[in-house]
Each structure stands twice: as structure tokens, then as C-alpha cells.
């Protein structure tokens, strides 16, 4: 489906868990999704947990949306 075509979403914590699941579903609905998280390809914040903002953005795009990676820390002040 394309119920969210033309819509923009921001998903924080999108490198794994619930955030990644939400980003995937938004992609399936054709949304443009800014996926944020602290882990980037080749430099995970927690080495035991794979996944990066680039991987999440690629998944969104592969599911029909437009994924845009934004490495950010939302702890305290917003830093992107």
C-alpha cells in the first residue's frame, strides 16, 4: 500500500527494536522516513548490538519508502 506517500516521519532509536519496526512499517506505506540513532556503519555504540542508521534507512527504502539516515544523540540536547 501507499497510504503514507508524500508524508514525512521521524523515528528516533531506529537502529533496532521498536524504532526499527516502526520505521519498517512506515517504509511499507511509502513514507519518507528520517531514521535516527547513535550507531553508524562501522562504529556501533554497543558492539554486541548490530545495526546502524544507514542499515535502517536502507531497509525503509527496500520496503518502498524513502529512508534517510541521521546519526543523532537525543540525550540532553539534540546533537546531529
According to DSSP, the β-strands at 8-11 and 66-71 are: unpaired
Residue 3 forms part of a structural domain: no
Per-residue pLDDT, 77: 60
Does the pTM surpass 0.85? The reply is yes
Residue 78 forms part of a structural domain: no
Residue 55 forms part of a structural domain: yes
Per-residue pLDDT, 50: 83
Instruction: Determine the structural domain holding residue 14 and report its residue range.
Output: 8-71
Name 3's Cβ contacts closer than 8 Å, sequence gap at least 6: 29, 30
Q: Map grid coordinates 553508524 to a residue.
A: 40
Q: What cell does 22 get?
A: 516502526
Closest-CA residue to 37 (of 70, 77, 68): 70
pLDDT digits (tens, 9 = 90+) for 27-70: 999 999 999 998 888 887 788 888 899 999 999 999 999 999 99
What total number of domains does the chain contain?
Answer: 1
Amino acid at each position: 500500500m501507499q497510504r503514507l506517500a508524500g508524508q514525512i516521519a521521524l523515528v528516533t532509536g531506529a537502529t533496532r527494536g521498536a524504532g526499527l519496526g516502526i520505521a519498517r512499517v512506515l517504509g511499507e506505506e511509502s513514507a519518507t522516513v528520517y531514521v535516527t540513532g547513535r550507531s553508524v556503519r562501522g562504529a556501533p555504540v554497543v558492539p554486541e548490538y548490530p545495526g546502524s542508521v544507514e542499515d535502517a534507512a536502507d531497509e525503509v527504502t527496500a520496503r518502498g519508502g524513502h529512508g534517510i539516515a541521521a546519526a543523532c544523540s537525543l540525550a540532553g540536547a539534540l546533537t546531529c
